[in-house]
Copies of this chain bind each other. A is one copy, B any other.
C-alpha cells in the first residue's frame, strides 16, 4: 500500500494538508530522478556538504572492543551532522516546486541549522520552530541559526519540546502550503516524508558500502546507529537491508532509566500509534495520549519512531536497543580520549551500545558506527556533567 511500511506509515493529517502531500509526492517522483536534479544535488553534496564523508578505522575504539570498528564520519558534513544531506535535497526540490519559503522544527538544533544553510544556498526564506526548553538546552545552535538569518520561533505549547514544535510546524504549514515547504527533518510524518528523507539520507549507506568493500573486501558484520525518527539510521541501513549477514542495530535514548517517564525508549516502552501524520511505534499512555519522552540528547527526544524503522524493528531485520544517559556521557569521554573525536550526545548512544554490549559483537568482527554528528552543540551540557557548572 502506498506510503506504508508493513502496517506503519500513512497520511493522518488534516484535509487541509492533503493537497500539499499529494503535490509533494508528485513533485518528488517527477523531479528526483531527473539528471539535472541529480547533478545539482550531487555537486552540492560534494562541494558544499563535503561528501563523500570518510570511513575512519578507529584504532582506539577497536582496541577497547576487540572489533574492527569503523566510524562513518557524518560529523564532517557541513554544519556538523548528517542532517544537511536531506536538507539540501528537499530545499532543491522545494525551489523547483516554486516554493519560496522553508519551515521546519528542530530539537538539537542540527536540523534547524542545516535547514538554514540549505535555505541560504537555494535562496529561500527560513523559519524554524523550536521548543522553548530546547532553545535553552541548545542555545549555541540557536545562535548559529540567527547568524544565518533564519527566523527562530519559540514553541511553548505542550512541554515546549520537539513533539510540540512538530505540531506547531504542521499547523503553520496548513496556513501556507501554497508558498511554503515543510522541510521534514527525519523519517517521520505523513507519506511521502519518510520516503523522501530516507532517500536523501541513503547516500550514507551507498558510500559506506563501497568504502567498506574497498577497505575490508567484504560487508560489515554489523552497523550501529542512534536515532529517534530514524533518518541517520535508515540512511546507513537502507543499502544493506537485503544483506542478511549484516546485523543492524538501532539505539534509542534510554534516558535515566526505563521507569515511568524517564526515557525515550519507544521500542521498549511504546506501542503503535498515530502521531504527526503517521502510524508508528509511539510512547503513549493507556488512553492513547502521547507521552513526553525524556533523554539528555535533545535530538533523540521524540516519542515516535519513523514508520520504516518501526516496520524493520517489528520484522526483526533491525534490532532495537537503547543506551542510558550515564552510559552515553561515558561514551563521549571514551571517544574523546580514544579517538580525539567529540561525538554528539545522540551519536554517543550508538558508541555507548557498542562499548557496553560485548555479548553482541564477537572479537574481530567488522562493526561500523554511523557517527551522525559532532558534539560541539553539547559542550555546555558535557562540561556541566563532567566538571559541574
When the two chains form their complex, are residues B337 and A149 in contact, meaning their CB atoms are under 8 A apart?
yes
Q: Which one, A118-126, A194-202, A261-269, A354-362, is touching chain B? A: A118-126
Interface residues of A in 371-389 (CB under 8 A from B): 376, 379, 382-383, 386-387
Identical subunits present? 2
In Å, the complex CA distance between A339 and B119 comes to 9
Q: A110 → chain B, closest Cβ, in Å? A: 13
A387: which B residues are within 8 A, CB to CB?
146
Instruction: Determine whether A53 belongs to the interface, using a CB cutoff of 8 Å to chain B.
Output: yes
Residue of B nearest to A382 (CB): B147
Instruction: Determine whether A32 belongs to the interface, using a CB cutoff of 8 Å to chain B.
Output: no
A47: which B residues are within 8 A, CB to CB?
54-57, 73
Instruction: Determine whether A62 belongs to the interface, using a CB cutoff of 8 Å to chain B.
Output: no
Instruction: Determine whether A96 belongs to the interface, using a CB cutoff of 8 Å to chain B.
Output: no
Instruction: Determine whether A130 belongs to the interface, using a CB cutoff of 8 Å to chain B.
Output: no
When the two chains form their complex, are residues B50 and A54 in contact, meaning their CB atoms are under 8 A apart?
yes
Instruction: Determine whether A133 belongs to the interface, using a CB cutoff of 8 Å to chain B.
Output: no
In Å, the complex CA distance between A341 and B47 comes to 12
Interface residues of A in 40-74 (CB under 8 A from B): 46-48, 50, 53-57, 59-60, 73
In Å, the complex CA distance between A130 and B383 comes to 19
When the two chains form the complex, which single residue of B76, B143, B333, B336 contacts A76, counting CB atoms closer than 8 Å? B76
- Size of interface on A: residues with Cβ below 8 Å to B: 43
Q: Is the interface of A mostly helix, strand, loop or mixed?
A: helix
When the two chains form the complex, which single residue of B76, B117, B333 contacts A147, counting CB atoms closer than 8 Å? B333
In Å, the complex CA distance between A79 and B120 comes to 24
Instruction: Determine whether A13 belongs to the interface, using a CB cutoff of 8 Å to chain B.
Output: no
Interface residues of A in 235-276 (CB under 8 A from B): none
Instruction: Determine whether A16 belongs to the interface, using a CB cutoff of 8 Å to chain B.
Output: no
In Å, the complex CA distance between A50 and B59 comes to 16
In Å, the complex CA distance between A46 and B387 comes to 34
Residue of B nearest to A57 (CB): B47
Q: A78, A147, A379 — which one has the most chain B CB atoms within 10 A of its CB?
A: A147
Instruction: Determine whether A177 belongs to the interface, using a CB cutoff of 8 Å to chain B.
Output: no
Instruction: Determine whether A338 belongs to the interface, using a CB cutoff of 8 Å to chain B.
Output: yes
A119: which B residues are within 8 A, CB to CB?
340
When the two chains form their complex, are residues B60 and A76 in contact, meaning their CB atoms are under 8 A apart?
no
When the two chains form their complex, are residues A376 and B144 in contact, meaning their CB atoms are under 8 A apart?
yes
In Å, the complex CA distance between A340 and B333 comes to 31
Interface bits A63-102 vs B (CB < 8 Å: 1, else 0): 0000000000101101000000000000000000000000
When the two chains form their complex, are residues A149 and B336 in contact, meaning their CB atoms are under 8 A apart?
yes
A144: which B residues are within 8 A, CB to CB?
342, 376, 379
A336: which B residues are within 8 A, CB to CB?
120, 147-149
A340-B53 contact given A147-B386, A333-B147, A379-B140, CB 8 Å threshold: no
Interface residues of A in 121-173 (CB under 8 A from B): 121, 140, 143-144, 146-149
Q: A141 → chain B, closest Cβ, in Å? A: 10
Instruction: Determine whether A116 belongs to the interface, using a CB cutoff of 8 Å to chain B.
Output: yes
A-B contact pairs, 6 of them (CB 8 A): A50-B73, A118-B340, A143-B379, A147-B333, A147-B336, A148-B336
If A46-B54, A48-B56, A140-B379 are given as contacts, then 8 extra A-B residue pairs at C-beta distance below 8 Å, sorted by A number, are A47-B73, A50-B73, A73-B78, A75-B78, A119-B340, A121-B340, A140-B140, A146-B387
